[in-house]
Homo-oligomer: A and B are copies of this chain.
Amino acid sequence: MAEKQNYKMTLSYDGTRYFGWEHQPGNDMTIQGKLESVLSLMTGEQVDVIGAGRTDAGVHARAMVCNALLATDLSELEIQQYLNRYLPDDISVSEVKIAAERFHARYKAIGKTYRYSLWYAESGVVPVFERKYIWCLKEEPDVSAMREAAEHLQGEHDFRSFCGNPHMKKSTVRNVDTIRIETNGHAIRIYYHGSGFLQNQVRIMTGTLLEAGYHRITPEQIDDILEAKDRKMAGPTAPALGLCLMKVDY
């Protein structure tokens, strides 16, 4: 039997059908669960997969990173082929690499990029081939107001008002070092980069930037929302379908 080695795996998934990343007992529709069952099948023993973070139900990823200790004689390429053969077609593994013993997908992650995709067209036209990965708005947001609001949101703050978990006991201080808003035709894409994010934080930040985009709040009110440390002060949680984990930095 081969000795256990630590493997780093990078994968993309269409989160539409899933209850998020995290394994849930008795629910086989999680990304981690799917991955663990194929790896367990491959090695003949139970495998635990450590993800860089947890994505919510319905959230997508283009480059989620995870690691697992595997005892196998298969090469990196053969592991990848095995995974891609037995995983459902909405989860795909783009890289498998032997990693240092100490590599830990969550603890060693130093940054993450998320992208939230929005769309608005007066004519009601939607991008049919992307419709499951973009949130189509009924009202036109003012992107320059959103950009102004984003400047107030950027930086290190206590993001308690932007935390979806009301029972969060640990620190809610996070550093969102950049928020970049790009437009391309009818699409509006918001890129968030930070060392880490709270539960639902990106979706609540997006919902709140849209409040500024709709002139329901001023960009300056972002400061008050941050200070309030109260979830009720921030905007609504944007739907999961528009969110995608783009990159994890190590």
Residue numbers of A with Cβ under 8 A of B are 12-14, 60, 62, 77, 80-81, 83-85, 89-94, 122-131, 133
Contacts and interface: CB of A to CB of B under 8 A. Distances in A.
Contact of A133 (B62, B85, B126, B129): B129
Given A84-B126, A92-B125, A92-B127, 7 more contacts: A12-B129, A80-B125, A81-B123, A83-B124, A84-B124, A92-B124, A93-B124
A85 B124 contact: yes
Specify which of A62, A90, A91, A128 lies most central, judged by the most chain B CB atoms within 10 Å of its CB: A128
A127 B63 CA distance: 12
Contacts of A133: 129
6 contacts: A13-B128, A60-B129, A80-B125, A90-B128, A92-B128, A93-B123
Q: Pick the 4 closest A-B CB pairs, nearest first.
A: A84-B124, A80-B123, A92-B126, A81-B124
Binding site secondary structure of chain A: mixed
A96 B90 CA distance: 35
A129 B77 contact: no
Contact of A131 (B89, B127, B131): B89
A14 B128 contact: yes
Contacts of A128: 12-14, 89-92
Contacts of A92: 124-128
Given A89-B131, A128-B91, A133-B129, A122 B12 contact: no
Contacts of A94: 123, 125
A123 B92 CA distance: 10
B93 A125 contact: yes
Nearest to A60: B129
Contacts of A91: 128
A57 B23 CA distance: 38
Given A90-B131, A129-B60, A80 B124 contact: yes
B89 A122 contact: no
